[in-house]
Structure 1
Amino acid sequence: MCRGLASFPSSCLEKAKGMRVKISHLAERHEWTHKYRASEKVLPDLEALLSNKVGLQAFQWFLRSEFSEENLEFWLACEDYRRSEESQLGTKAQCIYSRFINSEALQEVNLDSETRESLARVTEDPRADAFDEAQQSIYSLMAKDSFPRFLRSAHCQGVLKTL
């Protein structure tokens, strides 16, 4: 009779969870593809991709597969920071600095030394626009580097074939 999920080895359960995640990504890709086919757009630009939930998830998935998601994660953290209450800016600035800017950060982003130096003082006087220059720099880097790779990727090409 039915023995329940507890009788399955944990490795099988983990594989099932992984398959569920992949299936949900396929469903999201279909939704993203359908939206762009309906509007007669072949490809979105980076701005449109980042403002579209499904497109953003597809881009995140691609970047994770390349182990290069730190730029997008930084950009998203800056978006969140800019929309935060003033009382939260100090804490969030410190978090962003330690996670992405600090030279020992695990997800260090590629910023020029001048920008990096100006951000070293951001936690002392956090302002809503404190990360704007760095965020724009990372956006430009994504637009020139990772976004074109995403468009040429098998992941994106698979989505485009269904158009």
Structure 2
Amino acid sequence: MRGNFTRVASRIMAFTDCRTPAELYTERKEMKSKNWRNRIGFFLNKNTSHLVLHLKKNRSYRPTADDVQQWAQSLDKLLSHKYGKTVFRIFLKSEFCEENIEFWLACEDFRNITSHKELASKAAGMHEEFIKDEAPKEINLDFHTKNAIYQNLLEPTATSFLAAQRKVYSLMENNSYPRFIDSDLYKELCAVARGEGKRIKS
């Protein structure tokens, strides 16, 4: 019974990122704003207080106001910045879809592998973790993309996961990324970068 529930929940979460931005916007409008604020607030306080405090104390390492503003220009700008990537990952965790960025990052690492033996091992591991049906962190991919990856497992190349990576990037870019830019988390980090953030106790 528990396994069935997990599979159903996984399908629901995968379906969520298939919806259009307009559909998501309508659904968000229908949600009770208090519940939404509480959910974001919970993850903001639980997962980012130490990060925000770190950024405040370590001025030489924290992103500048210009850096944080550039994150709103494109997902590529966000993911190319060390802290931007970390913060976006925390946000995706709050939305229960961190498997998308975890897969994307795994693909980035995969493309840099030069050893064929290591490439094959990594490919098999990624298939088990993200691609196969009912994988622990199954991402939302169509059958043809999944099947192409499976067919290449014995002789993987650096581009074996490229099509899947692009699809997941598009999902994040069109769904999760706009919500991140509109989130309390991003707004607070903008304030911190400008030196206007509220004091957070250590």
TM range, normalised to the smaller chain? 0.7 to 0.9
Counterpart of 1:34 in structure 2 is: 65
1:63 aligns with 2:92: yes
Q: Assess, with a 3 A threshold, how the Cα gap between structure 1 residues 152 and 19 changes in structure 2: closer, same or farther.
A: closer
Scaled by the length of structure 2, the TM-score of the pair is 0.64
The SS at the match of 1:32 is coil
Q: Give the 5 Å matches for 1:14-33.
A: 22-28=49-55, 31-33=62-64
Unaligned runs of 5+ in 1: 1-17
CA distance in structure 2 between the partners assigned to 1:27 and 1:128 by the alignment? 36
> Which digits, 9 at most, give the CA deviation of each residue in 1:134-161, with x for residues without a partner?
1011101110011111111110121234
Cα offset, 1:85, TM superposition: 1.9
CA distance in structure 2 between the partners assigned to 1:48 and 1:107 by the alignment? 25
1:89 aligns with 2:128: no
1:158 aligns with 2:185: no
Root-mean-square deviation (Å): 2.4
CA distance in structure 2 between the partners assigned to 1:142 and 1:66 by the alignment? 12
**Same amino acid, percent of matched pairs:** 36
The aligned amino acid for 1:24 is L
CA distance in structure 2 between the partners assigned to 1:133 and 1:98 by the alignment? 17
CA distance in structure 1 between the partners assigned to 2:47 and 2:96 by the alignment? 21
> Which digits, 9 at most, give the CA deviation of each residue in 1:26-73, with x for residues without a partner?
434872243526xx7472411111110010011011111222100100
CA distance in structure 2 between the partners assigned to 1:22 and 1:103 by the alignment? 36
